[in-house]
Amino acid sequence: MHTVVVGTSGVTASDVLAVARGGARVELAGEAVAALGAAREIVEALAAKPDPVYGVSTGFGALATRHISRELRAQLQRNIVRSHAAGMGPRVEREVVRALMFLRLKTVCSGHTGVRPEVAQTMADILNAGITPVVHEYGSLGCSGDLAPLSHCALTLMGEGDAEGPDGEVRPAGELLAAHGIAPVELREKEGLALLNGTDGMLGMLVMALADLDLLYKSADVTAALSLEGLLGTDKVLAPELHAIRPHPGQGAAAANMLAVLKGSGLTGHHQDDAPRVQDAYSVRCAPQVAGAGRDTMAHARVVAERELASAVDNPVVLPDGRVESNGNFHGAPVAYVLDFLAIAVADLASIAERRTDRLLDKNRSHGLPPFLADDAGVDSGLMIAQYTQAALVSELKRLAVPASADSIPSSAMQEDHVSMGWSAARKLRTAVDNLTRVLAVELYAATRAIELREGLAPAPASQAVIDAVRAAGVQGAGPDRFLAPDLAAADAFVRGGELVAAVEKVTGPLQ
Residue 141 CB partners (closer than 8 Å, separation 6+): 147, 409, 411, 416, 419, 420, 421, 423
Q: Which residues pair with 302 in a beta bridge?
A: none
Alpha-carbon gap, residue 41 to 6, rounded angstroms: 21
CA distances from 250 to 219, 263, 296 (A): 14, 20, 5
Strand 3-6 versus strand 25-28 pairing type: parallel
Helices (H) and strands (E) in the chain, counts: 19, 9
Q: Which of 444, 326, 283, 445 is nearest to 56 (CA)?
A: 326
- Count the Cβ atoms, other than its own, within 10 Å of residue 474: 13
Alpha-carbon gap, residue 161 to 156, rounded angstroms: 6
Residue of 54, 138, 337, 388 with catalytic role: 54
CA distances from 66 to 57, 58, 72, 315, 464 (A): 9, 5, 12, 17, 71
CA distances from 464 to 445, 447, 471 (A): 14, 12, 11
CB 333 within 8 A of CB 422: yes
Per the annotation, the verdict on 54 as an active-site residue is yes
Amino acid identity of 464?
Q
CB 454 within 8 A of CB 363: no
Alpha-carbon gap, residue 219 to 495, rounded angstroms: 7
State yes or no: cis peptide before 316, omega within 30 of 0. yes
Query: Which phi and psi (to 5°) does residue 406 adopt?
Result: -80, -10
Alpha-carbon gap, residue 107 to 90, rounded angstroms: 27
CA distances from 244 to 247, 511, 512 (A): 5, 18, 16
> Exposed/middle/buried for 214, CB within 10 Å: 0-12, 13-18, 19+?
middle
Half-sphere exposure of 178 (CA within 13 A, CB side): 7
Instruction: Give the three-class secondary structure for 216.
Output: helix
Residue 27 CB partners (closer than 8 Å, separation 6+): 3, 4, 5, 6, 124
- Count the Cβ atoms, other than its own, within 10 Å of residue 183: 11
Active-site residue set: 54
